Structure 1
Amino acid sequence: MRRADRLFQILQYLRGGRLTTAAQLAEKLEVTPRTIYRDVAHLIGSGVPIEGEAGVGYLMRDGYDLPPLMFTHDEMVALVAGARILQTWGGSKMAAAAQEALVKIDAVLPEAERVRAGHINVHAMETPWHGGSWRAFVDQFEAASENLIRLQITYEDEAGNRSERAVRPLGVWFWGKVWTAVCWCELRNDFRMFRLDRVVELAERDRYRPVKGQTLQDFIDTEAYCR
């Protein structure tokens, strides 16, 4: 967890005048009490009205609230543009999450910022390529790379020839029009990039362990994607 996220969570736990010890906070946030002591000292130094001391506990009186979420115009353009691009070009779950993120941001923005966000004229348009099951495959390859799940795929090359592959997904890359999955291909015993719009079928298999020389960083270091 990033420190900024941890500080925000500490504020949430201390709301409403609840006395909470550093040990309790440390257990909830999976850090050491010493880390909590430093974080609380930082919050107090920033002007947050936290009362208490180490060994006793901390609380924050009612009435303190976080300032409204604020973004610069360029930050808001980047967030809205990114979310709209994912809604159009991302996987099914990515698209839904992007929409939900926009709803949440809109709910906490001050009125003036909400109006400005609604007038951002950056859009992503669909094309005839959007047919097929590629959206689901984006989500499945992404989840498999995160959870280290081997996949069995039926893949069709540019000439229409099909092959069966057992692959270890390492990540998904977007190239402006197509998504590719970077994988360690067990058939070729080498790195391969598969266009997700050419994947015909997909099934999960067992978990795999990262192997030195077969990781995404190893692939990037080879600069094979540049050739």
Structure 2
Amino acid sequence: MFTPEEIEALVLGSRWVADRADNPLQHAARSALTRIATVLPAHLRNELDTSALLVGPGTTILADRVEPALLREAIRAERKLSLHYCDATGRPSERIVWPFALAFFESVRVLLGWCELRQDFRQFRTDRIVSATLIDARYPRRRQALLKEWREAEGIR
């Protein structure tokens, strides 16, 4: 069974997602909390309902042109993406990437992937992705291996 601290962590994390993620994830966070509440004993359900840990107002998230659900689908399925991307100066490029993670920051989301053009790890702000197409091909390495290598390259434990 969950401890009170675990329940607080679940509630706080779910509240953050429900406030700052895209619509499908917002719905999933609310749904998950409802489902968790149904299996908790009454005294722990009260902990869930009355959690005093709140998510404060955040910065407005920059609008994505591409549905984040598509990016998550590519990550889960370990499938390549064809991206049309504009950098900070507005210069366009086309890339084939192997997406392995999506990072959520206060006002932006960042797609992490192996870029076939650069033959290296790259980060793509999702608000700068003009279009993305799921390619019907898996990338040749496992997502977890790519994430591990990226963390090592970035010095992240």
Same topology, TM > 0.5: yes
Amino acid in structure 2 at the alignment position of 1:101: A
2:24 to 65, 74, 93: 93
- Aligned-partner Cα distance in 2 for 1:126–1:162: 33
- Aligned-partner Cα distance in 2 for 1:179–1:79: 21
- Aligned-partner Cα distance in 2 for 1:215–1:110: 40
Is contact 1:90-1:135 (8 Å) kept? no
Q: What's 1:222 paired with?
A: 153
Deviation at 1:83, TM superposition (A): 0.7
Give ranges in structure 2 of 5+ residues lacking alignment: none
Deviation at 1:184, TM superposition (A): 1.0
Q: Which has the higher helix share?
A: 1
How many percent identity over aligned positions? 30
Is contact 1:150-1:208 (8 Å) kept? yes
Q: What's 2:82 paired with?
A: 152
Cα deviation digits, residues 66-123 of structure 1 (max 9, x gap): xxxx422211100100111111223433222111111111222233332332221223
Amino acid in structure 1 at the alignment position of 2:77: N
Q: Which has the higher strand share?
A: 2
Amino acid in structure 2 at the alignment position of 1:88: D
Q: Secondary structure at the match of 2:67?
A: helix
Q: Normalising to structure 1: TM-score of the pair?
A: 0.59
Q: Normalising to structure 2: TM-score of the pair?
A: 0.82
Give ranges in structure 1 of 5+ residues lacking alignment: 1-69
- Aligned-partner Cα distance in 2 for 1:174–1:222: 20
- Aligned-partner Cα distance in 2 for 1:218–1:116: 39
- Aligned-partner Cα distance in 1 for 2:7–2:122: 36
RCO higher in structure (CA 8 A, sep ≥6): 2
Q: Which has the larger radius of gyration?
A: 1
